[in-house]
């Protein structure tokens, strides 16, 4: 059974706090990337472009740890251990625009590259731990 996203954890995800995504490279070493974060009930939603390292790492090994610190107090954070549920292409452009509004206050994502294909990365949480600061 997947862990639930609720209370202060949900608030930290809904606020414009960065999410640090920790995946494993093919050689077993960790790879950590800061990204924007969203949720769909109890599923974490991240957005990336095809061909980037951290989604490729997840495709090979679906285990992931997410850390979302409060931008105003980094001693308050949530740690989510989970696994890749799916990569979703449909709606990914609209989703990155939604995140651009949340994080940049802009209606459209301004950093699109020519030929870039966006994907939504759905993460099912297995364990959610909140740490207050």
Hey, where are the domains in the chain?
7-131
- Positive or negative torsion for Cα 52, 53, 58, 63: negative
Structural element, H or E, at residue 33: strand 30-35
Round to the nearest angstrom and report the end-to-end CA distance of the chain: 28
Mean of per-residue pLDDT scores for the chain = 96
CATH number of 7-131: 2.30.110.10
Residue 1 is predicted with a pLDDT of: 54
Distance of alpha carbon 37 from alpha carbon 128, whole angstroms: 15
* In the chain, % of residues over pLDDT 70: 98
User: pLDDT tens-digit profile of 44-100?
Assistant: 999 999 999 999 999 999 999 999 999 999 999 999 999 999 999 999 999 999 999
User: pLDDT tens-digit profile of 10-27?
Assistant: 999 999 999 999 999 999
pTM confidence score: 0.95
Question: What is the DSSP-derived secondary structure letter of residue 4?
Answer: P
């Amino acid at each position: 059974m997947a862990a639930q996203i609720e209370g202060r954890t949900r608030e930290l995800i809904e606020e414009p706090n960065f999410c640090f995504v920790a995946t494993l490279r093919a050689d077993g070493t960790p790879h950590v990337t800061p990204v924007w974060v969203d949720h769909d009930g109890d599923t974490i939603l991240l957005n990336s472009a095809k061909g980037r390292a951290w989604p490729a790492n997840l495709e090979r090994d679906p285990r992931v740890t997410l850390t979302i610190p409060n931008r105003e107090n980094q001693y308050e954070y949530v740690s989510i251990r989970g696994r890749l549920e799916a990569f979703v292409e449909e709606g990914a452009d609209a989703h990155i625009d939604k995140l651009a509004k949340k994080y940049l206050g802009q209606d459209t994502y301004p950093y699109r590259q020519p030929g870039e294909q966006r994907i939504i990365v759905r993460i099912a949480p297995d364990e959610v731990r909140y740490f207050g600061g």
